[in-house]
Amino acid sequence: MYGWEKQLRLSRAGPALRQAHRRAHSRMVVERFHRALLRLRPRYLPQSPMGQAISYALNQWPTLARFLDHGEVEIDNNLVENAIRPTAIGKNYGEVVIMRRYVGCFADAGAFRWLDQGSTAHN
């Protein structure tokens, strides 16, 4: 999806084109990931690291998927993060560490394997 977003950014696509492209391409990937999270949730205890990661992702789902319906919204907030990083040196990045730990749990458990397998078909 980041490759598609980069192409849209380089072509200076407007919000309407970005939204149409996301609906045609990215939505399928995001919905598949959502279904995978729902299937994985019963396999893990809620207080286990993986259970917490799945719950966090599902609880944040409306926010995570917002970019699909709004072409003016970036896929992530990296531009803002990079802009404020020089002024935030020394502050606690606890949330970032927690999120990386959760994403690491997903990756360690093979939760992203289907994305790797499907990525060549969608690029």
Question: Mapping DSSP to helix (H, G, I), strand (E, B) and coil, where does residue 69 land?
Answer: coil
Stretch 96-113: mean pLDDT: 56
Tokens of 72: 């003016």
User: Domain residues for 98?
Assistant: 2-122
Length of the chain measured in residues: 123
Stretch 104-119: mean pLDDT: 54
Indicate yes or no: pTM above 0.85.
no
pLDDT at 59: 94
Q: What is the pLDDT of residues 10-19, one digit of tens each?
A: 889 899 999 9
Alpha helical stretches, state H, 1-123 = 2-10, 15-21, 27-40, 49-59, 61-64, 78-84, 94-108, 113-122
Top mean pLDDT of 18-22, 74-78, 88-92, 98-102 is at 18-22
Dihedral over Cα of 17, 58, 51, 75: its sign: positive
- Number of folded domains in the chain? 1
pLDDT at 119: 45
Stretch 46-65: mean pLDDT: 92
pLDDT at 121: 44
User: Within 10 Å of residue 67's Cβ, how many Cβ atoms?
Assistant: 20
Q: What is the pLDDT of residues 31-40, one digit of tens each?
A: 999 999 999 9
